[in-house]
Amino acid sequence: MKVCVVQFETKRSRERNVKKAVGMVKETLQHEPALVVLPEAFNTGLLEENYATAGSLDEELREILEISGECDTVIAAGVIAREKGGLYNFTAIVHRGNIAAVYAKVLPFPLTSERKYFIPGRELVVCDTPAGRLGLLMCYEIRFPEIARKLTFAGAEILVVPSQFPKKRLDHWECLVRARAIENQIFVVGANSYGRSIVADPWGRAIVAEEGDTVLVTEIELEEMQRIRAEYPFLGDAKKLGSLDVRTL
Give me the pLDDT at residue 242, please: 83
Q: Is residue 84 part of a domain?
A: yes
Mode of pairing for the β-strands spanning 86-95 and 74-83? antiparallel
pLDDT of residue 243 exceeding 90, the answer is: no
Q: Which range of residues forms the domain containing residue 30?
A: 2-239
Q: Is residue 245 part of a domain?
A: no
pLDDT of residue 106 exceeding 90, the answer is: yes
Q: Is residue 249 part of a domain?
A: no
Q: Is residue 133 part of a domain?
A: yes
Q: Is residue 14 part of a domain?
A: yes
Q: Is residue 244 part of a domain?
A: no
Q: Is residue 247 part of a domain?
A: no
Backbone angles phi, psi at 228, to 5 degrees: -65, -40
- Number of domain units in the chain: 1
Domain CATH number, residue 155: 3.60.110.10
Q: Is residue 106 part of a domain?
A: yes
User: Which one-letter DSSP state was computed for residue 20?
Assistant: H
Label residue 204 by pLDDT band (50, 70, 90). very high
Give tens-digit pLDDT for 225-234.
999 999 999 9
> What's the predicted TM-score (pTM) here?
0.97
pLDDT of residue 178 exceeding 90, the answer is: yes
Instruction: Read off the pLDDT of each residue in 42-51 and give the average, rounded to a whole number.
Output: 97
